[in-house]
C-alpha cells in the first residue's frame, strides 16, 4: 500500500515513522503548506515532498492518505481523496463539527472507501486490556464510565490553531475530550442524551473552552461522565468502567486495575496489570488501518465512530449554551 501523509507537524511525523516500519506499506510522499517542514520530513524518510496538500490528496500513485492537519482542512482533503479513490485515515476529531463529519462519512460510503478515525487511545495497553476483560465478562454488564483527562497546555497554546474556533471547531472537548467520548461508546454503546457545561477559565483561548464537564445517558439508563481540561497542570488520563459485578480503572496507558464488588462496604480485592515502556498505540492504530485496506474489511474506529464523538461534544456545547439536556443523534454501536 502506497501512502501519503498530509500535515508534517508532530502527529504527521509520528504517522510517517509508523508507516515506515510497516513492511506492507510504503510512504511515497508527505505534504504541508510549509514547504520547509515538508522537505525536512521527506528527507528523513526518503520520499517526495509536496507543498500543495489538496493536490497531494489526489496523487495518482497513492492508495491511502493520512490527514494530520488542523481540523479545518479535514473535510476538504478527505473529500478530494475519496473522489480520487483513496482510503483515508483522519486524526481526531474527525472534523470541526457534526455537519462536516457526517459529509465525510457519507462520501466514504458512497465511494466504497475506508474512513478511519485516528482514535489511538483504543489501543492503549491499559484500554486494550480493559476491553478484553469486559468481553470476558470479568466485571459483568458495564453500566457506567467516568473519565478525567487533560493537560496543562503550552505557553504558546493561545496563539496556536487549537485556540482558534474557526480552525479547530472547539476546545478541549474536541481536542483530548473526544478520545474519552469515543471510549464511552466502546464500553457502553450509543447515548441518547447529554448535559453539561464548558467554559474558558484560565487560558486566553477565546471561544475555545479550556474546561468542560459532560454527562451522558443512554436509553437503557447507562451513564458516562467526562471532565476534559487544558488546565490539568500535570497531564493525566484516568478512565473507569463500572460493571454490575466489578470495576476497571485505566491509569494512563500503562496501568489497569480490576476489582470485584463486595457484599459489604469496604476495599475490594483487586488485580493490577502494568505495561511499562514505549507506547505502541499509534502502531496498533495504523496496523488496523493497513490490514483493513489489504483485507477489504472495515476498521476498528470507523468514520461513524468519529462522527459520533463529535456529535457528543456538540451536544454538550448545546447543553451548556441553553442550560438544558440535549438529544444526541444515534450512531451505530461501538462495542468493546
In a domain, 335, yes or no: no
pLDDT for res 157: 83
In a domain, 24, yes or no: yes
CATH code for position 43:
3.40.50.720
6 sits in the region (left: phi over 0; alpha: psi -120 to 50; else beta) called beta
CATH code for position 215:
3.30.360.10
pTM of the model: 0.95
In this predicted structure, the answer to whether residue 155 has a pLDDT above a threshold of 90 is no
Q: Are 50 and 133 found together in one domain?
A: no
Q: Are 208 and 313 found together in one domain?
A: yes
Q: Are 183 and 198 found together in one domain?
A: yes
Q: Are 171 and 316 found together in one domain?
A: yes
Q: Are 63 and 141 found together in one domain?
A: no
In a domain, 318, yes or no: yes
Mean residue pLDDT across the chain: 95
Q: Are 65 and 150 found together in one domain?
A: no
Q: Are 254 and 154 found together in one domain?
A: yes
Q: Are 228 and 151 found together in one domain?
A: yes
pLDDT tens column, 276-331: 987 899 999 999 999 999 999 999 999 999 999 999 999 999 999 999 999 998 75
Burial of 234 (0-12, 13-18, 19+ CB in 10 A): exposed
Q: Are 185 and 314 found together in one domain?
A: yes
In a domain, 336, yes or no: no
pLDDT tens column, 231-251: 987 789 999 999 999 999 999
Q: Are 180 and 323 found together in one domain?
A: yes
Contact between 315 and 328 (Cβ < 8 Å):
yes
Q: Which helix (H) or strand (E) covers residue 185, if one does?
A: helix 177-188
In a domain, 332, yes or no: no
In a domain, 333, yes or no: no
Number of domains composing the chain: 2
In this predicted structure, the answer to whether residue 334 has a pLDDT above a threshold of 60 is no
Structural domain harbouring 102? 2-120+284-301
In a domain, 334, yes or no: no
Q: Are 141 and 86 found together in one domain?
A: no
pLDDT for res 333: 45
Cβ-count burial 160-175 (b if 16+ within 10 Å, e if not):
eebbbbebbbbbbbbb
Q: Are 36 and 173 found together in one domain?
A: no
Amino acid at each position: 500500500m502506497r501512502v501519503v501523509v498530509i500535515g508534517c507537524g508532530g502527529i504527521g511525523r509520528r504517522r510517517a515513522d509508523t508507516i515506515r516500519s510497516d513492511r506492507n506499506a510504503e510512504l511515497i510522499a508527505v505534504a504541508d503548506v510549509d514547504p520547509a517542514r515538508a522537505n525536512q520530513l521527506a528527507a528523513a524518510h526518503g520520499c517526495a515532498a509536496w507543498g500543495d496538500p489538496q493536490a497531494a490528496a489526489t496523487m495518482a500513485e497513492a492508495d491511502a492518505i493520512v490527514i494530520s492537519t488542523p481540523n479545518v482542512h479535514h473535510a476538504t482533503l478527505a473529500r478530494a481523496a475519496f473522489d480520487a479513490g483513496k482510503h483515508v485515515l483522519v486524526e481526531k476529531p474527525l472534523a470541526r463539527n457534526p455537519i462536516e463529519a457526517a459529509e465525510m462519512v457519507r462520501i466514504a460510503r458512497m465511494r466504497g472507501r475506508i474512513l478511519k478515525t485516528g482514535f489511538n487511545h483504543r489501543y492503549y495497553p491499559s484500554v486494550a486490556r480493559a476491553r478484553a476483560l469486559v468481553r470476558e465478562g470479568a466485571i459483568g454488564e458495564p453500566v457506567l464510565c467516568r473519565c478525567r483527562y487533560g493537560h496543562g497546555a503550552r505557553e504558546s497554546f493561545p496563539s496556536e490553531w487549537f485556540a482558534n474556533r474557526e480552525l479547530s471547531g472547539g476546545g478541549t472537548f474536541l481536542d483530548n475530550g473526544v478520545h474519552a467520548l469515543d471510549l464511552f461508546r466502546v464500553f457502553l454503546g450509543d447515548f441518547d442524551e447529554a448535559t453539561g457545561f464548558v467554559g474558558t477559565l484560565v487560558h486566553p483561548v477565546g471561544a475555545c473552552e479550556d474546561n468542560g464537564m459532560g454527562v451522558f445517558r443512554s436509553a437503557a439508563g447507562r451513564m458516562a461522565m467526562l471532565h476534559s481540561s487544558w488546565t490539568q497542570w500535570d497531564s493525566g488520563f484516568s478512565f473507569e468502567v463500572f460493571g454490575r459485578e466489578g470495576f476497571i480503572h485505566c491509569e494512563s496507558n500503562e496501568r489497569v486495575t480490576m476489582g470485584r464488588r463486595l457484599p459489604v462496604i469496604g476495599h475490594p480485592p483487586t488485580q493490577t496489570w502494568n505495561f511499562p515502556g514505549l507506547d505502541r498505540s499509534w502502531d496498533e492504530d495504523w496496523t488496523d488501518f493497513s490490514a483493513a485496506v489489504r483485507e477489504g474489511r472495515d476498521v476498528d474506529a470507523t468514520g461513524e465512530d468519529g462522527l459520533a464523538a463529535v456529535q457528543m461534544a456538540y451536544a454538550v456545547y448545546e447543553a451548556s449554551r441553553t442550560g438544558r439536556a440535549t438529544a444526541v443523534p444515534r450512531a451505530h454501536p461501538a462495542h468493546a
